[in-house]
């Protein structure tokens, strides 16, 4: 997309000390490999600087890993988007790589792809009691070399299509290691903060479970939006508008797209009713789509994925965190993950936002702040605030808005429009 050169987003905690020592404790966690990882990372940048493309790249990588070997993808082109603003890079493969820890193993998995084929692919592993990594397989063009340490891949080289990942093929044949890698990708959740429809069905399902409903209400109570209860009513299929049915059918069966069930849900939020002297005298139900604000609808929709991530130690990529939310609510969500009690399972949140109130030395370490910029030729770059000389007591927000770190828009003279 807009990244022509390699861009690296790292959750590896730098060896720095914050002015607020408590922040170092609650925002990091230890691993089996002697390294500390960050619980949160926040990406800033001007509009069209490339922030959302980081999330789209992760979504593409996850979808290809999980779906590429399916029979339905046999004749499909790979939906990769190279950097198109340069005549050379427009024809080059796009490369993706991820290093992660899963079930006490450290993996490095990478591949490169163009529209018609997988060009390269590699998988390495390192066990927690070993010092060196082991290469399990290497792919270059039509050649796949399988290590003796990866017996599940033997004989599957010829079963792998040009447009399918070898890892996905091995997992389809119940390979132990490949299935482990796939299971990590399934723990990665990518949510677009502008589109509630993508996550509302998941949240609706949790709301139908009494325990899930209780946890969501506890979360919403912390946001102080006045909701005392939430109810979910099924809508029979025959009562669903034809427009919605047509929309559902258009997306049905497409990999990586929204999957709709056979029914929709109508969600009601209960609010207290008061008399003239301020005493509670009853309750009233609001249809959240008709009677609640856009911000409240977003909070309700996000509550399911947020709790799911915190409970199950997931990695949540949340684009446009601040869209339709008050800055203090964005801060509250960030604090959920930067907390030893509420995030005891060390879930991770990577989010993009314009809420500069989060740029505070008591809220984020420098290695948790990332900046996207775009140069004159349209190329995006990604840098960490750790790469800048910043004092521990500096005002990140003031320096960012003044342009000290870049990653802000260059605004022309609007008045000239009317001359």
Q: In the numeric block, which tokens belong to residue 37?
A: 């990882």
Shared domain for 144 and 237, answered yes or no, is no
Query: 291 vs 8, which has greater pLDDT?
Result: 8
Q: Is the pLDDT of residue 89 over 60?
A: yes
Shared domain for 161 and 219, answered yes or no, is no
Shared domain for 119 and 84, answered yes or no, is yes
* pLDDT tens sequence across 166-195: 999 999 999 999 999 999 999 999 998 877
Q: What is the pLDDT of residue 129?
A: 87
- Give a yes or no: residue 26 inside a domain: no
- Global pTM value: 0.88
Most confident among 20-24, 101-105, 275-279, 327-331 (mean pLDDT): 101-105
Q: What is the pLDDT of residue 250?
A: 57
SS3 per residue for the chain = CCCCCCCCCCCECCCCCCCCHHHHHHCEEECCCCCEEECEEEEEECCCCCHHHHHHHHHHHHHHHHHCCCHHHCCCCCCCCCCCCCCCHHHCCEEEEEEEEECCEEEEEEEEECCCCEEEEEEEEEECCCCCCEEEEEEECCEEEECCCCHHHCCCCCCCCCCCCHHHHHHHCCCHHHHHHHHHHHCEEEEECCCHHHCHHHHHHHHHCHHHHHHHHHHHHHCCCCCCEEEEEEECHHHCCHHHHHHHHHHCCCCCCCCCCCCEEEEEEEEEEECCCCCEEEEEEEEHHHHCCHHHHHHHHHHHHHHHHHHHCCEEEEECCCCCCCHHHHHHHHHHHCCCCCCCCCCEEEEECCCHHHCCCCCCCHHHEEEEEECCCCCEEEEEHHHCCCCCCCCHHHHHHCCCCCCCCCCCCHHHHHC
Shared domain for 232 and 133, answered yes or no, is no
* pLDDT tens sequence across 293-312: 888 889 999 999 999 999 99
Domain that holds residue 221: 198-312
Q: In the numeric block, which tokens belong to residue 272?
A: 């207290």
Shared domain for 127 and 153, answered yes or no, is yes
Shared domain for 202 and 185, answered yes or no, is no
Total number of domains in the chain:
2
Residue where a domain terminates, one of 312, 346, 376: 312
Shared domain for 210 and 178, answered yes or no, is no
d(CA 79, CA 160): 18
- Give a yes or no: residue 157 inside a domain: yes
Q: Predicted confidence band at 252 (pLDDT cuts at 50, 70, 90)?
A: low
> Average pLDDT of 320-324?
87
- Give a yes or no: residue 164 inside a domain: yes
- Give a yes or no: residue 332 inside a domain: no
Residue where a domain terminates, one of 288, 312, 336: 312
- Give a yes or no: residue 119 inside a domain: yes
Residues near 408 by Cβ (< 8 Å), separated by ≥ 6? 45, 46, 400, 401
């Amino acid at each position: 997309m807009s990244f022509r050169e390699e861009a690296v987003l790292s959750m590896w905690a730098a060896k720095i000390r914050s002015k607020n020592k408590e922040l170092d404790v609650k925002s990091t966690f230890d691993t089996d490999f002697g390294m500390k990882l960050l619980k949160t990372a926040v990406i800033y940048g001007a509009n069209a600087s490339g922030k959302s493309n980081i999330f789209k790249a992760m979504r593409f990588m996850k979808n290809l890993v999980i779906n590429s070997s399916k029979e339905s993808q046999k004749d499909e082109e790979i939906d990769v988007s190279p950097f198109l603003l340069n005549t050379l890079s427009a024809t080059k493969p796009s490369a993706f790589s991820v290093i992660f820890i899963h079930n006490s193993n450290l993996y490095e998995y990478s591949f490169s792809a163009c529209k018609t084929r997988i060009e390269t692919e590699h998988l390495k592993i390192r066990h927690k009691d070993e010092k060196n990594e082991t290469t399990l397989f290497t792919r270059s063009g039509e050649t796949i070399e399988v290590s003796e340490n990866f017996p599940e891949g033997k004989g599957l080289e010829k079963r792998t299509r040009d447009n399918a990942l070898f890892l996905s093929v091995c997992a389809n044949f119940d390979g132990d290691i490949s299935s482990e890698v796939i299971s990590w990708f399934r723990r990665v959740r990518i949510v677009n903060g502008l589109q509630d429809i993508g996550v509302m069905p998941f949240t609706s399902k949790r709301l139908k479970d009494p325990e899930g409903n209780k946890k969501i209400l506890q979360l919403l109570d912390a946001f102080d939006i006045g909701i005392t209860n939430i109810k979910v009513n099924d809508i029979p299929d025959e009562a669903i508008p034809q427009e919605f049915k047509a929309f559902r059918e258009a997306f049905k069966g497409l990999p990586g797209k929204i999957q709709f069930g056979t029914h929709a849900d109508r969600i009601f939020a209960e609010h207290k009713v008061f008399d003239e002297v301020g005493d509670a005298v009853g309750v009233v139900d609001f249809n959240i789509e008709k009677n609640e604000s856009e911000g409240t609808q977003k909070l309700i929709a996000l509550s399911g994925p947020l709790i799911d991530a915190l409970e199950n130690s997931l990695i949540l990529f949340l684009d446009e965190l601040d869209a339709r939310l008050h800055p203090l609510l964005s801060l509250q969500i960030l604090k959920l993950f930067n907390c030893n009690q509420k995030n005891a399972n060390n879930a991770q949140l990577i989010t993009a936002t314009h809420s500069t109130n989060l740029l505070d030395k008591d809220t984020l370490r420098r290695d948790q702040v990332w900046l996207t910029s775009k140069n004159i030729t349209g190329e995006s770059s990604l840098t960490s605030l750790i790469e800048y000389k910043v004092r521990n007591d500096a005002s990140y927000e003031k320096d960012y808005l003044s342009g000290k770190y870049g990653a802000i828009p260059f605004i022309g003279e609007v008045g000239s429009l009317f001359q």
